[in-house]
Structure 1
Amino acid sequence: MSKLNHAKIVLRRSSERGYAEHGGWLKTHHTFSFADYFDHRFQHFGSLRVLNEDRVAPRNGFPTHPHRDAEIFSYILSGELTHRDSMIQRGKEGAQGTDFYRMKRGDVQFTTGGSGIAHSEQNEHPSTPVHFLQIWVLPWKSGLTPRYHTLGFSDDAKRRSFVPVISPLAAGPEANAAQEEAAVPAIPGTIPIHADFVMGAGIIEAGETFRWTVGGGDAVRSRRKRNVYVHLPASKKGGARIRLDGREDRVLEEGDGAFVEGVHAGDVIGVESLGETEAEVIMLDSN
């Protein structure tokens, strides 16, 4: 039974997303308009601008390319992805080489494009593809200092409840240089983002229900009429299904998503796993 009668939930079926293949090395689905795919109905959802579900073949990837004025992050579902950047400097989290991060399942690599950076993302494994989500969020101001963060989030924690992954920079848009350098997130243990945005991830066993608190509790400033996008990535096993807010007509299959509109900070969205296997669910909670 629905507990959020004021919320509007609109499904985005996997088959309706944009799709492209590039040279045999990349297969990608686009939830929002991206590259050669354009649909005026799907250009952003709040500050969420890009959600691509990518599969990159072994020994292939994205060559060095520029970014600016976007908060960009990759969530690794399977395989590994190696990040190199133009700044040739590493953050404190998870450095694995003199000029790279090699990310594996559960890792999140985060980039503030700001005033301009260039990076590459390559699958350097000799035989295993990488499957990951590429997500872009519009920042609350332009010209920010480019920064990187990489953190891992365990499957064990995600099997207990939704785990916050990303939350707003605690100091907000008014942050000074020292606060930017300190990079303290609103929710401890998460990656800070320059947006009124929270990301969570959970792995829900069949028959179980997880609950997402909109806005991450007190983490956000914009508390009314938030926009939550729920995504159910494809899995290796297949067969995952979820139901949102107890609504019989709001069931997602693998690759599907849902726009949840009109919810407020503190509202709770129930996500029930109905399938034959566990469901890895991504919550993208925006102003």
Structure 2
Amino acid sequence: MSKALAHAKIVPRRSSDRGHANHGWLDSFHTFSFSNYYDPKYQNFGSLRVLNEDRVDAGQGFPTHPHRDAEIFSYILSGELTHRDSMITKGAEGQQGDDFYRMKRGDVQFTTGGRGIAHSEQNEHDSEQVHFLQIWALPWARGLTPRYHTKTFSEEAKRAAFLPILSPLKAGPGASEAEEKVAEATLPDTIPIHADFVMAAGIIGVDKRFKWTVGGNAVKSTTGRHVYIHLPMTKKGSMKIRLDGREDAVLNEGDGAFISNVNAGDVLSVESIGEAEAEVVVLDSD
């Protein structure tokens, strides 16, 4: 197969090389330096700052804690995870909304930490473990107004093509308070993020191939993009993908890849070559 992106640099990040901490109730893998894991080579990739793959036991989780000046989002792979703003106590939640949401597979919960926000994330299921990705991006400005968004993304749509999940706030870095409140994303039906950043996900059938257009037709910064591809551990090792037709860019479950020297409009091929359909997450930043 001819290479579609001969100019691109693709560097795999193997699962076994990630930071790893098993606290009993929490089993966590860190692609970038986080908490007690530090590696100066893995601080960020463009505006992508954190990519943790977490499993949390039933009845466990992260009690109320603060965040500032980060765009933080959770992508649920299996089980359930309850997000609750610090002002909402257990038993007084009411209906699901952005301040309180019991997330399941397909849900994405997004937080703008801005000038300060506090929430908890708990697995309140009585028996099932929750498996999810927690991802942080660096915002284009500090001191933003804190905000939550929660949205469900279709499994069927992810099986058709890469489905955009996050795209930049349409009003950009100079957004007014009114534009912040409207929270319109550049791409329809996505969650707005305060960064020149696009997230997408796809579920690629065996021997099928999806294509990702760098920048997702949504970004301002068009040159020198940073695309990170992640293959979460969901099929007990039976997933495998190949990037850009390259035999040295084959990823197994838990692996990722840094793709640099690419520009908006370049097209990346992602091919499923394992024994099970492959769930692939794309994180495309400036």
Shorter-chain-normalised TM-score: which range? over 0.9
Measure how far apart 1:86 and its partner are: 2.5
* Local SS of the residue matching 1:159: helix
Measure how far apart 1:236 and its partner are: 3.8
* Local SS of the residue matching 1:53: strand
Q: Contact between 2:228 and 2:257, CA under 8 Å: does it hold in 1? A: yes
1:19 aligns with 2:20: yes
Q: Contact between 2:113 and 2:146, CA under 8 Å: does it hold in 1? A: yes
Match runs of 1:211-250 below 5 Å: 211-217=211-217, 219-250=218-249
- Runs (4+) of structure 1 moved beyond 6 Å? none
Measure how far apart 1:249 and its partner are: 1.2
Partner of 1:92: none
Q: Contact between 2:98 and 2:150, CA under 8 Å: does it hold in 1? A: no
Give 5+ residue unaligned stretches, structure 1.
90-94
Aligned length: 281
Q: Contact between 1:74 and 1:132, CA under 8 Å: does it hold in 2? A: yes
Q: Deviations over 1:131-161 (max 9, x none)?
A: 0000000000000000000000011100000
Measure how far apart 1:98 and its partner are: 10
Relative to the length of structure 1, the TM-score reads: 0.96
Q: Contact between 1:112 and 1:145, CA under 8 Å: does it hold in 2? A: yes
1:263 aligns with 2:262: yes
Q: Contact between 1:87 and 1:117, CA under 8 Å: does it hold in 2? A: no
Relative to the length of structure 2, the TM-score reads: 0.96
Measure how far apart 1:238 and its partner are: 3.2
* Local SS of the residue matching 1:258: strand
Partner of 2:68: 68
Distance 1:97 1:259, change over 3 A: closer
Q: Deviations over 1:79-134 (max 9, x none)?
A: 00000013559xxxxx5279621000010000000000111000000010000000
Q: Contact between 1:237 and 1:277, CA under 8 Å: does it hold in 2? A: no
CA distance in 2, matches of 1:134, 1:213: 24
Q: Please report the RMSD computed on the Cα atoms of aligned residues, expressed in angstroms.
A: 1.5
Match runs of 1:146-161 below 5 Å: 146-161=146-161
CA distance in 1, matches of 2:242, 2:269: 8
Distance 1:160 1:68, change over 3 A: same
Q: Contact between 1:72 and 1:134, CA under 8 Å: does it hold in 2? A: yes
Counterpart code for 2:232 = P
Q: Deviations over 1:26-67 (max 9, x none)?
A: 000000000000000000000000000000000000011000
Partner of 2:178: 178
CA distance in 2, matches of 1:98, 1:69: 19
Partner of 2:92: none
Q: Contact between 2:98 and 2:149, CA under 8 Å: does it hold in 1? A: no
1:39 aligns with 2:47: no
CA distance in 2, matches of 1:75, 1:87: 23
CA distance in 1, matches of 2:205, 2:8: 25
CA distance in 1, matches of 2:29, 2:186: 31
Partner of 1:254: 253
